[in-house]
Structure formats: C-alpha cells, structure tokens
Chains A and B, each alone.
Chain A
Amino acid sequence: MQIKKQIVLNKSGEVLLPIIWFGKEKEIIYDIYLAEKGASIKVLGVFFGTGESTVDVKVNIYHNSPETTSHFLLKGVLEDSSSINFDGLVKIIKGAKGSIAWLGAYLLLLSNASKGRAVPSLEIAENDIKAGHATTIGKVNELELFYLMSRGIPYEKSKMLLVEGFLSSVVNQLSKGKQSAVKERIAEYANNFI
C-alpha cells in the first residue's frame, strides 16, 4: 500500500500535514513545494511499527520562494521486528531569502529486532536563511525506566509511559480528533501486555 502525494503551497500561511502510520502503508512519499512567499508547512509524523511492518518514507520539501518556512517533526516507535527507512530532503534554492527550515526525525527502538535508517539531507543554495536538522535513534532511556520502576510501576507499563511521553511532543500538536485516534491505537497496543 502506498501513499504518494504532491503538495504545492501557493499562498502565504501555515498548512499542517499530519502523517500517521500504524503499519499499513509500505511506502509514503510526499513532495512539498513552498511556491509562494510566506508559505509555511508543519509536518507532524507519528509512526508506530509492530510485527514485521516496514515503511519507506520519503519527504522532499522545496523552498522555492523567499520567507518560506518548513517545520518537520517525525517520531517513530518500533516494536518487534518492524523498521523505518526515512529519507528527508530540504532544498532551499538561491533567492529563497529569509527561509527557515527545521527537520527532526527521532526513532525509538523497543525491541532488539527493530531497525531504523534515517537520512535527513539538506541542499542549501541561499545564505540568508536558517536551516537545521536533528536525528536521534536509540532505545528507551535506562535511567528514565529505572526511575519509573522505582516507584513500583512494572516494566511494561513503565515502557509504555515512556513511549507515550516520547510521542507526546508530536501528538499534542495534532488536531483533537487525530490525537484521540492515535492515543487510542497506542492504548490498544499497550493493553496487549498490561
């Protein structure tokens, strides 16, 4: 199953693009064009992999106009032997002065068979801009887990608390409707253990 979309922002103003994956799609491709001065996009990705689900995610954001903004935040949680393959490109052309781009991709590996690949790329041909990206890939923080368990909360529950905490910074920015849908899915999954 594939999602392939092209988004062209032709006017000033912010557009919110949620990308939510719970294992169904195998490929997600977005080409986003910030074509007009002042165009701005906020991409919020919530990814939750279980079983053997894998997904190739490609997001290309093109800043083709001055004063365009892109803010991309992806958080992925991978259980069992699921994996995410992420390629993100932010391209700022010459003349796109005053543009701001930020890309963050964070993956949490919950099992010893889960895997992640993240390649956040930047191609910048204009100097009067600000761009940055950050990626972290790792497992649940041992000390945070220890702390929660030291209060009597069992391992699985503590882990899920941390997973929810990890995703919260993205989830809390989604629309109310989507927030509940996502929280429900996660709770459903958590109940398998608890």
Chain B
Amino acid sequence: MKNALVINNLYAQTIDGKEILRGVSLTIKIKEKHVLMGPNGGGKSTLAQVLMGHPGYVITKGTIFLDGVDITRISVDKKAKLGLFLGFQYPVEVPGVNFASFLRMAFQEKKSVSLKIFKQNMQKNAKQLGLREDMTERSLNEGFSGGEKKKAEILQMSILKPRYVVLDEPDSGLDVDALQYIAHQVESLNYSFGLLLITHYQRILKYLKPDFVHVLVKGKIVQTGNASLASLIEEKGYNFLFQK
C-alpha cells in the first residue's frame, strides 16, 4: 500500500527473550495523525523503538511495510532514508559529534546542500522552536536539558522532512510552553506526513488534534477510536476500558 506505514501482526521481544509486543497491527496513512496511549509497561516505547530497529529488540513475527516496501528487517539507516523518523523519548548524548555537522550529513544522504544555506535554515527552525542558536554548535544533545533534547528532536524532523514520524512521548518532562511549541511545530510543518504520536499524559492533545486514538495494553492494541476516546480515558482512566 503506497502512502501508508503498515504494521501487521507484529511480535517482538527483548534480546534476552522477554516478549513485549504481541501482535500489533496499525496502519498510518500520509496526512493522518494517530495517537498511541496505554498504561506503563504496555509496550508503547518498545513499538516505537522496534519500528526503527533498536538493537535491543528482535522481531519474531509480523511485518512492517512503508510505502509498499518491506522494511521489517532492513538496516536502520535505510529505514530512515525511506522516510521513517523516530523522535526518541530519551535522546542519547553523543559527545564530540557536532550537532549541525551531523544533521547536515544526514540531510546530504538525500540531497546536497551548502553549509551556509543549511545553517541558515537550521537556525531559523531552531529559533521557531525556542532553542538558543548556539545549541546547534554544540555536541549532539550534550548538556541539553530534557526539554531542549525534545525540541532538538523536532528540529531534526523539521529539517529532514520524513514521510512517517513516530514521536515517543515528546511531552513527558516538558512544561506547557514547550509543549505548545512542539505541537505548533508539528502542526505547521509545510509538507505531508503520517504521524504516530505516543503519549502518556495526553496534555499535548490539547494542542494537537488526533484523527485516531489507539490504546496499547500488554503488547496488543485493545481499543481504537477517535479523539473522544482520549478524553474518555483522561476522565475515567484505563481501567474503565476493561470493565466493558
């Protein structure tokens, strides 16, 4: 299926054998905004990491197709080049690697750009996100506060313009202002992409309206609905769903 990220009956476990995902199926089309919620330990972050190919997990069953291409077992960088992007929940610090250089290198895998133009563009986006200009001169994520790290993830996304964006709890650890910035950035990107946003607190949903809401519990999606499902959960909690 073109113009869609199709996850079909995905099973995954940690490399020392603990099963986390137990048959997840989800289709995200371009221009759609999906939100994934669920209690802690249900596998939300795991799904995000498994999609990207995190070395700590192994897919045991099922497939992932991006724009009709089977990406289940291809290398991490190839997935990225095909248009998949993961905004990490805890972006790792990479000392000694300059932020701007690294991002330009990633950008240049698809298209050439002069350093000057690239930096201009990047600094403009950084400003819009409320990031200090000098941030991009520093080592990748080194010394960034939690909020700055999250914003930096969005900055990367805005430069690389991926077709399918998975954001792993971009709202955790952020104050309201930062939340708004991020939501605004995501909403105002000037190209079409499919979004899977993983959230725990749902606060970001005040600023970002989802088309679909899914609930992941113990490695399986137990409920799918629209934005009102999120409000219901906020009001009554997850247990309410199980009482049906």
Q: Which residues of A contact B (CB under 8 A)?
A: 141-144, 146-155, 157-158, 161-162, 164-169
Tell me the nearest residue of chain A to B87, going by C-beta.
Answer: A150
Q: How far is the CB of B148 from chain A (nearest CB, A)?
A: 16
In the bound complex, residues from chain A placing their C-beta under 8 Å from that of B75 are 149, 155
* Cβ–Cβ contact B160 & A152, under 8 A: yes
Closest to B88 in A: A147
B-side contacts of A158, CB under 8 Å: 77
- A-contacting residues, B9-36, CB 8 Å: none
Q: Are the C-beta atoms of B96 and A152 separated by less than 8 Å?
A: no
CB nearest to A169 among chain B residues: B96
Partner of B96, one of A142, A143, A168: A168
Q: What is the CA–CA distance of A154 and B105 in the complex, to the nearest angstrom?
A: 10
| Stretch in B47-55, B201-209, B231-239 touching the partner | B47-55
Structural contact, A161 and B97, CB atoms closer than 8 A: yes
Interface core residue of B81, B91, B105, B110 (most chain A CB under 10 Å): B105
In the complex, are the beta carbons of A161 and B76 less than 8 A apart? no
State whether the Cβ of B103 lies closer than 8 Å to any Cβ in chain A: yes
Known contacts A164-B97, A165-B97; A153/B92 CB under 8 A: no
Of the candidates B52, B92, B96, the one having the most CB atoms from chain A within 10 angstroms of its own CB is B96
Known A-B contacts A161-B102, A161-B105; A149 and B77 likewise in contact (beta carbons under 8 Å):
yes
Of A152, A157, A158, A166, most B-chain CB atoms within 10 Å: A152
How many chain B residues have a CB neighbour from A under 8 Å? 28
What is the CA–CA distance of A165 and B95 in the complex, to the nearest angstrom? 6
- Bound: A167/B96 CA distance, A: 8
> What is the bound-complex CA distance between A148 and B102, given in angstroms?
8
The answer to whether A148 and B94 touch across the interface, beta carbons within 8 angstroms, is yes
B139 close to A (CB within 8 Å): yes
Q: Are A153 and B96 in contact (CB under 8 A)?
A: no
Q: CB within 8 A of A150: which of B52, B109, B139? A: B52
Flag if B76 contacts A149 (CB, 8 Å): yes
Interface string of B63-78 (1 = CB under 8 A from A): 0000000000001110
> A152: which B residues are within 8 A, CB to CB?
77, 80-81, 106, 109-110, 160
- Is the C-beta of B86 less than 8 angstroms from some C-beta in chain A? yes
B77 pairs with A144, CB closer than 8 A: no
Residues of B within 8 A of A162 (CB): 94, 97
**Which residues of chain B are within 8 angstroms of A166 by Cβ–Cβ distance?**
96
| Given A149-B77, A151-B156, 6 extra CB contacts under 8 A | A147-B88, A153-B106, A153-B109, A161-B97, A161-B102, A162-B97
Interface hub of B54, B92, B94, B109 (most chain A Cβ within 10 A):
B94
The reply to whether A151 and B80 contact each other, CB–CB distance below 8 Å, is: yes
A157 to B, closest residue via Cβ? B105
**Set A143, A154, A164, A168: member contacting B77, Cβ < 8 A:** A154
Residues of A close to B53: CB separation below 8 A: 146, 150
Residues of A within 8 A of B91 (CB): 147
Does the CB pair A143–B86 fall under 8 Å? no
In the complex, chain B residues whose CB is within 8 Å of the CB of A146? 52-55, 76
**CB < 8 Å neighbour of A143 from B81, B92, B105, B110:** B92
Most buried by B among A150, A165, A167, A168: A150
- A144-B106 in contact (CB<8A): no
Question: Which residues of A lie under 8 Å from residue B139 when comparing CB positions?
Answer: 165
